[in-house]
Amino acid sequence: MTYRSPAALPPSVLERSDVRDALSRHDFGKVFALARKWGGISFLKIADACDISPERVGKLAKGTGTITSYRKIAVIADALRIPGSLIGLAPRPWEGGRLDSAPSSCSNDAGEAEDEAVRRRKFIAASVVAAGIPATFPFSAGGRIGATTVERLRERTARLRRLDDFLGGADTYPIYLGEFEATTSLLKKSSYNEVVGRALLSLSAEQAQQAGWAAFDAGRHPEAERLYRTAHHMAIQAEDQALMCNSLAFLAYQQVSTERSGVELASASCERMGREVPATVRALLLERRAWAHARAGETKETERALAEGEAELIRSSETGAAPHWASWVDMREHQIMTGRCWTELGRPLRAVPALESALRTFSDTHARDKSLYLTWLAHAYFDAGEIEQAAVITGRSLQLANGVGSVRPRERVQTLVHRLEPHRALPEVATVLEEAVA
C-alpha cells in the first residue's frame, strides 16, 4: 500500500465535540461527513487519502457500514492526521511536529504483520480504558474484603464483558483470564465473611465462563472446557443455580461445536434450573438446548425448546431484571437462534425469514457475530437452491470477518466456499471465491 498525501483535518474540526465523540466510537462515516461540512474536505479527497473508494466513503458518511480493520483505522488516522490517542492507537509517527516521518509501505510481510500486532494490542488496551475500566486490576489480595469490593468487581466485570461485542476471543481471552485469576487470588488470600465469600465464588464462576467463552471463540477448546468445568464447580460452591446451569449449557454448546452430541448436558442444564432462575436465563438455556437438538437432527425437540424459550422471554419482560451476563438475550437473538436451528435441520423456508428479519437491524460494529450469523443465512439460501444469493451473503460475511480475532466465522465461511466451488461459473460465486483466496 502506498502512502498518499494527507487530507489533513483542520485542528478546528478535531476540536469539535461531535467529531471527538465519533472518533471515540470509531464512527468514521460521521467523521467523513463532518470533515466535508466543517473542514471543506471533499469525499473524493478523503477517499484518495484514506485508500477507500469514493463510493464507500459516501456510504459510510450516510451511516451505511463501518470500518472494522485495525490496519484501515491506522491508515485513516495517518491520512487525516488524527492523533492516535483519540482512536486507541499508539502515537502516530508524525505527532509532535514530525511531519516528515509519514508511514510508507512495509518492507516485508513479517514486518507488516508485526506492526499490525502492535497496533492491535494498543487498540485493545485503549478500548479497555475507553470503556471506563482501569487498565490494571484495582485490588490487592491479602486484606479484608467487604460487599462493596465485590460490587465494584462485578461492575468491572460487566464493563469488560462489553468488549466481547466488538472484539474476538483471540483479543479478549488474555483480558478475561487475567481478571478470573486475579479474583481467585483474592478468594484464596483475602479474608471475608460467609456472604461475601459466596459472592466472590459466584463472581469467579461468572469470570471463568467469560474466559472460557473467549477461549472457545479463539479455537482453544481444551482451555475452554477446563474453564467451563471450573465455573461449574465454583457455581455449585456458591449455590448459584443460574450460573451452575449456564456452565452446563456452555459445555453442551462446545461439545456440539466439536462434533459431539451436547443434548445430554443441554438437557441437564434445563432440568436443573429451578423457578428462582431468572426468566432471561431460562430462555438462554432453552435456546442452547434447542441448538443441541437441532445439531442432532431432532426436529420436534428443537421446536419445543424454541417455543419454551420464547415464552420465557415474554415472561422476562414482565418479571424484569436479569443478571448482566445474560442481558444480551432478547427476541432478536432468539430469532437468530431460531433461524440457525432451522438451517441445521435443512428447513430453509423457515430459516431465511427469521434470519433476515433479525439481521436487518444488526449493526456491522458487531462484526464477529454478524459475520457468523450471515453464514447460516448463506447456508439456508444454498439449501434453497439460491446459489447466487448464497454467494453474495458469503462475500458479505467474509468482509466482516476480516481482522476479527475469532476462528468461528472463518471456519464457517470456509465450509461455504467449499460448497460454492462447483458453481464457480456463476459470476457472483467467482467473485467470492477470489475474495476468499485474497
Look at residues 305, 328, 353 and tell me which one is the last residue of a structural domain. Answer: 353
For residue 144, give the DSSP letter. B
Would you state the pLDDT for residue 301? 98
Domain boundary among 88, 123, 158: 123
Instruction: Provide the pLDDT confidence category of residue 222 given band limits of 50, 70 and 90.
Output: very high
Measured distance CA(248)–CA(304) in Å, rounded? 20
Q: Does residue 405 belong to any structural domain of this protein?
A: yes
Sorting pLDDT into bands at 50, 70 and 90, what band is 93?
A: low
Q: Look up the CATH number of the domain holding residue 102.
A: 1.10.260
Q: What pLDDT does 97 receive? A: 42
Percent of the chain exceeding pLDDT 90 equals 53
What distances in angstroms separate CA 5 from CA 2, 49, 72, 103, 239, one per listed residue? 10, 6, 16, 11, 62
For position 91, what pLDDT does the model report?
A: 67
Q: Is the pLDDT of residue 86 over 60?
A: yes
pLDDT band at 114 (very low <50, low <70, confident <90, very high): very low
Identity of the amino acid at 410: R
Residue that has been written with the C-alpha cell 425448546 in this structure: 305
Q: Evaluate whether 230 touches 263 at the Cβ level (below 8 Å).
A: no
Whether residue 246 lies inside any domain: the answer is: yes
pLDDT of residue 95: 65
Residue 317 and residue 398 share a domain: no
Look at residue 106 in the predicted model and tell me its pLDDT: 39
99 has pLDDT over 60: no
Strand-pair partners of 191: 144
Say if 294 falls within a structural domain: yes
The pLDDT of residue 52 is: 84
Q: Check whether residue 103 and residue 135 sit in a common domain.
A: no
- Least reliable range by pLDDT among 104-108, 347-351, 413-417: 104-108
What does the alpha-carbon distance between residue 13 and residue 30 come to, in Å, rounded to a whole number? 12
- Position 1 scores a pLDDT of 39
Q: How many residues comprise the chain?
A: 438
Distance between CA atoms of residues 151 and 139, nearest Å: 12
Asked if residue 232 and residue 137 are part of one domain, the reply reads yes
- d(CA 177, CA 172) in angstroms, rounded, equals 8
Over the stretch 270-294, which tens digit does the pLDDT of each residue have?
999 988 899 999 999 999 999 999 9
Burial class (CB in 10 A: 0-12, 13-18, 19+), 427: exposed
Q: Is residue 327 part of a domain?
A: yes
| Residue entry with cell 425469514 | 353
- Among 238, 264, 296, which residue terminates a domain? 238
Is residue 283 situated within a structural domain? Answer: yes
pLDDT greater than 60 at residue 108: no
Q: pLDDT tens digits for 307-356?
A: 999 999 999 887 767 899 998 999 999 999 999 999 999 999 999 999 99
Cell of 212: 472460557
Does 409 lie in the same domain as 333?
no
In-domain check, residue 300: yes
- Cross-strand partners of 144: 191
Residue 231 included in any domain: yes
8 A C-beta contact, residue 414 and residue 402 = no
Position 101 scores a pLDDT of 35
Confidence of residue 67 (pLDDT cuts 50, 70, 90): confident
pLDDT tens per residue across span 8-40: 787 778 878 888 878 877 788 888 888 888 878
Indicate whether 398 and 339 sit together in one domain.
no
- Domain coverage including residue 384: 364-438
Cβ neighbours of 104 (radius 10 Å): 9
Q: Average the pLDDT over each of 43-47, 101-105, 288-292 and give the range with the smallest value.
A: 101-105
| Cβ atoms within 10 Å of 12's Cβ, excluding its own | 10
Co-location of 42 and 60 in the same domain: yes
Confidence (pLDDT) at 107: 40
Same domain, 379 and 418: yes
CA dist 248 and 268 (Å) reads 7
Q: Are residues 266 and 277 in the same domain?
A: yes
Domain contains 29? yes
What is the C-alpha to C-alpha distance for residues 403 and 68, in angstroms, rounded to an integer? 7
Residue 311: which CATH number? 1.25.40
Tell me what pLDDT residue 296 has. Answer: 95
Main-chain dihedrals φ then ψ at residue 171, nearest 5 degrees: -85, -40
Q: Are residues 316 and 382 in the same domain?
A: no
What is the enclosing helix (H) or strand (E) of 37?
Answer: helix 28-39
Which comes out higher in pLDDT, residue 92 or 107? 92
The total number of structural domains in the chain stands at: 4
What pLDDT does 131 receive? Answer: 52
**pLDDT exceeds 70 at position 94:** no
